[in-house]
Chain A
Amino acid sequence: MKLRQLIFWSVRLTGSCAGAILGFYLPMSLMVAFLEIGYEQALPWLLLSAVVGLFAGGFAVGKLLRLHRKR
């Protein structure tokens, strides 16, 4: 694997992780409005949102990197 490819995938992986963290914690800040909601009830939705964030983060970073390369 070329160094350039390695850097590309590392940055993309970092974007995925950041997306997953944002996907988990952003909806949580909205759910805080429902004070009495149990965390175990919210957990499946938070995990689902984290998975969406994981893919969206990786995709967005990949797209940005490709745009940057084209310039």
Chain B
Amino acid sequence: MSYIGVHLEVCGVIPFNWGNTSLVVVSGDGPNVCGHALIKVGFYYFHIAGLASRPYFMPEQGYRRYLDESRKTELFRRPVYLPDPEGAQRKLNELSVDPWYWFGIPNNCVSFVEELFFAGGADESILSNCPVRWR
């Protein structure tokens, strides 16, 4: 199995640089034409990738390794302003504890990123749940 990051251990968490937050969308595997969404906070990338597993995070080198091993390409990234960084940090801590259940159209990689955006006070969402259209 290719590298997808490591789980965030809440106990040792430090506040991330939410002032530098971006939405990152990479290409999907096989029949996934919608791509895959990640959130970049400072130097770290967060995403969900399992059917029922806790969210993963990775630093910049880890992200390069993830792209390389999964044969993915970055489609685009764009900065997103979060007016409430503490809210986003709290939400990230909360989401890191429990497994994230992937249910296809609901509760997917987009929903994870959306939840963090909403918690951070950004009104960023996409109705189609297809991250490639989230430019």
Residues of A within 8 A of B (CB): 24-25, 28, 31-32, 34-44, 46-47
For the residues of A in contact with B, the DSSP-based class is helix
Q: Which residues of B contact A43 (CB under 8 A)?
A: 29-32
Q: Which residues of B contact A38 (CB under 8 A)?
A: 1, 4, 49-51
Q: With contacts defined as CB atoms under 8 Å apart, how many contacts are there between chain A and chain B in the complex?
A: 48
Q: Which residues of A contact B51 (CB under 8 A)?
A: 28, 31-32, 34-35, 37-39, 42
Residues of B within 8 A of A (CB): 1, 4, 28-32, 36, 49-53, 99, 101-104, 108
Which one, A35, A36, A37, A44, contacts B30 given CB within 8 A? A44
Tell me the minimal C-beta distance from B20 to chain A in angstroms.
Answer: 27
